[in-house]
Structure 1
């Protein structure tokens, strides 16, 4: 009996230890799975493609498109057999030179006559000619412009003071910088991303002109100060459009109070078809949104960064919360599933691709009603995505990549679906992210802003240049007109000098 009790106790102990070991084993397997996901994610970041396009291992999800692909292949083969009509590439036929350069470019002709004809021109008769056109360039030419104001006196009345024409208004008084020189520096820095210290070297060693980077920096400060009125008029145009896409990107800056360059942030606001506005702040706090969103009413679209809902949920912004409709971005949701990379994620990515194909159709056929078309074609796809997410959320580990992607998407589901109701909304925030790209190239070259103030100065100039790019305006033409008009521009005239207003006025005069 004692032996049986001993064996029973020993058996219970073994069962308890086995249960504990099984629980520990399950926990370790879970940790190994999560660590493997992190390793695969890091390897993909380090050595994989940065593109989020469908990869070859996702082809099993494209079976429903095989028929369409086969039909497209047959059409391509038929076109290939027809020698009279060459097959176009994905990017289309290459345009001839005359369609790739402006029509108003000056033409310089170089006529080449055979030596025999030059030696005896009377012996030959011209019967035709052969032309070869090439695009040439003359390097930037610097020159001194002398502005001479002649003085006159009356011959018969010497008591009248001499006459002299008033001096033309200048952007920078008592400076040798012309509007053309300032324009060249602005375009080189903010369009071609050439830092001022490199411009200093180019001027010195290529043209023999010495202008210090400090002097050029002071000029940029003064120009930004001049442009502030137009910048604020651009802000009003974007706010009045009732649709703003928002994003932010970091750029380091020099702080004399610190021994390192801390992160500052360019906040970007884009309204499709209206313009882009940048604001610079030394932080990424929600309070940075005050100057743009206070008293704003309309659509606001952003990524999943928490400052936007935090600002809207602040009791101090109760009025704005009732007037602002906050939408989220499908590109960021898709990115989460792309990072997960498993079969469930690939299936969801495939469904999201259907949403984007619908958006492509809407871009190609602008006459369609966007909200109606989306309700008919995109709403069923969203319902299918929601069904998968609800089902898989119960099965996946919350800290796994797929679990995080599902949680991210479901948490913002209502905001992600707002584009169904509002035809003005885009499906994602990509347009404002594209507007940020030029600044990202610039910060790789100049590394940091020289001071907190220079961050906002750059934001002002970037706003006007990027708005020109979005509206298909040559920034050189726009800025030349603006720089020449600024010295005599009244405060009430600034609203008519935003890129959109300038372009409209020029089109009317033309």
Structure 2
């Protein structure tokens, strides 16, 4: 073994430097391995954290979707099975047990007053003097007119009178129409003798029938139209009724009568009504579904639309129904072509993008805005539960209710015709409330969960509130579109009874006849008697194209016979019976904004 001292110093230094370099490389490799292990450890620690975050986010999304679907189910159940009224304290009768629900053994019947009716004790008064009266006399037989005390003959000293109502069922009467024919004996004799003289024969004038060659009189056609378009009776039910009355009148006969009455006569009246409606500067509009089976180029299951355009409450009532295969905004554009004024509607978007060649100011219905909040409140169980949860929807609904309450203070001005006073009062009291609601709703929307019912309601409110505030611009305007909703309700009820129209021609006729009867009812007329009068007058008119003549047939004309008019109190009562003004008449079309 050699001694270290034998190795030169330079070689030893070189060896040491090599060892240092090797150790340095080993240290670098160890550092790289440590960094790699640290990265692997960090990655291993990060993956569970990210996975946990992803799972938490996914769980939150699933829960939000679940809440949204549960909310949708609650809203759907409320719309289809719950109380449809939006009043805070509804009083709804069931469609199934309406007799049991409406029955009240303690309720008094109308008071019978044969003459000079007078309101007493809050009862309704039936004026029997206005009805056909039949005397039914009850007397003792001669053999029973003996005094039970002494046997002397009893003598009548007074009459006790009570009244009862008896129903006389409808009956058909066959009119044997005999038309007298006259001749001049002298002229006929001269003619027979070969003289140059015409045989003078003169027939007595006879009123023209509504449908040439048909046995249907104005009263019979009016009865059918009233049954179908006022009482919503399907033709097959009336066919059975006529059969029971001894007349085999088929539904095809009745359908033909309705079509011919529309095409020959009522279409002219409806056209004049439309012209008068568009002379005004306020129109209410709405639409609803109708199914037409035999429509060219479309399947029978496709839904068409029945549109309604109505005059405001401050003018003579006019209601124009218009059939169209689509819900396109082109329908409203075509109907209102060249018209300028205030258009009061729900939030269906095409109403707000009309290009009709006129200047249209849109007025959005506040009831539709309120409805979305009201449905949320009802879906969670009512005001109490919503208040306990500090519901934004409840707060919104109450704010809108307060606006309606404030506006109701000016109803008297509108009834008296002081529309400028109403406008100034709204400007003073209502505008600050509406501007405050708009600011509040914008702030609440930032806090609402996306795609939930509250978010949709706030989005709808914020989007259409500026249009709702346009109602402040004219005292004749209303805050809602209830007038149009009430007017289209009879069609919706009738649609549920006869389900569909067979052809577009039939749907157009139905729309036109609805226009006439709805306008007649709104003007306080008996629609059956009015239709009968029209069908008596128009076939015998000299010039049906004369606007002045058509104006004389309008429901508000002084030419309408008095017996067709309902008494003012009866007309007012009939108007009240329309239905709850705040009601969703078409739950299948919950989204009115067309989105």
TM-score, normalised with respect to structure 2: 0.73
Report deviation, 1:502.
5.2
Listed as ranges, the matches of 1:188-337 within 5 Å are 188-204=227-243, 206-225=244-263, 226-255=265-294, 257=296, 260-271=300-311, 272=313, 273-310=316-353, 312=354, 314=355, 317=356, 319-320=357-358, 323-337=359-373
The answer for the alignment partner of 2:550 in structure 1 is 494
Report deviation, 1:503.
6.7
Report deviation, 1:337.
1.0
CA distance in 1, matches of 2:509, 2:50: 70
Rg bigger for which structure? 2
Q: 1:210 to 1:154 in 2, by over 3 A?
A: same
Return the match for 1:350 from 373, 394, 398. Answer: 398
The answer for the alignment partner of 2:19 in structure 1 is none
Report deviation, 1:6.
4.0
Residues 337, 346 of structure 1: 8 Å contact kept: yes
List, as ranges, runs of 4+ consecutive aligned residues in structure 1 with deviation greater than 6 Å.
none
Listed as ranges, the matches of 1:94-113 within 5 Å are 94-98=122-126, 101=127, 103-113=129-139
Residues 291, 300 of structure 2: 8 Å contact kept: no
Q: 1:453 to 1:209 in 2, by over 3 A?
A: same
CA distance in 1, matches of 2:64, 2:426: 40
Counterpart of 2:165 in 1: which secondary structure?
coil
The answer for the alignment partner of 1:148 in structure 2 is 178
Report deviation, 1:52.
1.8
Q: 1:413 to 1:131 in 2, by over 3 A?
A: same
The answer for the alignment partner of 2:382 in structure 1 is none
Q: 1:487 to 1:11 in 2, by over 3 A?
A: same
Residues 278, 463 of structure 1: 8 Å contact kept: yes
Report deviation, 1:104.
2.1
Report deviation, 1:291.
3.9
- Write out per-residue CA displacement over residues 384-440 of structure 1, whole angstroms, 9 at most, x where no aligned residue: 322321211111123111111011111111111111221111111111111111111
Residues 320, 515 of structure 2: 8 Å contact kept: yes
Residues 478, 502 of structure 1: 8 Å contact kept: no
Report deviation, 1:466.
0.6
For the aligned residues, what is the CA RMSD?
2.7
Aligned residue-pair number: 464
Report deviation, 1:93.
6.2
Task: Give structure 2 stretches of 5+ with no counterpart.
Answer: 1-30, 91-119, 192-198, 378-385, 568-595
Q: 1:460 to 1:253 in 2, by over 3 A?
A: same
**Greater shift after overlay, 409-418 or 498-507?**
498-507
CA distance in 2, matches of 1:241, 1:405: 33
Report deviation, 1:309.
1.9
Report deviation, 1:285.
1.3
CA distance in 2, matches of 1:394, 1:503: 60
**Greater shift after overlay, 362-371 or 111-120?**
111-120
Q: 1:503 to 1:40 in 2, by over 3 A?
A: farther
The answer for the alignment partner of 1:421 in structure 2 is 473
TM-score, normalised with respect to structure 1: 0.84
More helix by share: 1
Residues 407, 430 of structure 2: 8 Å contact kept: no
Report deviation, 1:292.
2.1
Q: 1:392 to 1:176 in 2, by over 3 A?
A: same
Counterpart of 1:269 in 2: which secondary structure?
strand
CA distance in 1, matches of 2:435, 2:171: 62
Report deviation, 1:364.
4.5
Residues 553, 560 of structure 2: 8 Å contact kept: no
CA distance in 2, matches of 1:102, 1:458: 36
The answer for the alignment partner of 1:176 in structure 2 is 215
Report deviation, 1:191.
1.2
Q: Are 1:40 and 2:80 an aligned pair? A: no
Q: Are 1:457 and 2:509 an aligned pair? A: yes
Q: 1:502 to 1:292 in 2, by over 3 A?
A: farther
CA distance in 1, matches of 2:299, 2:42: 70
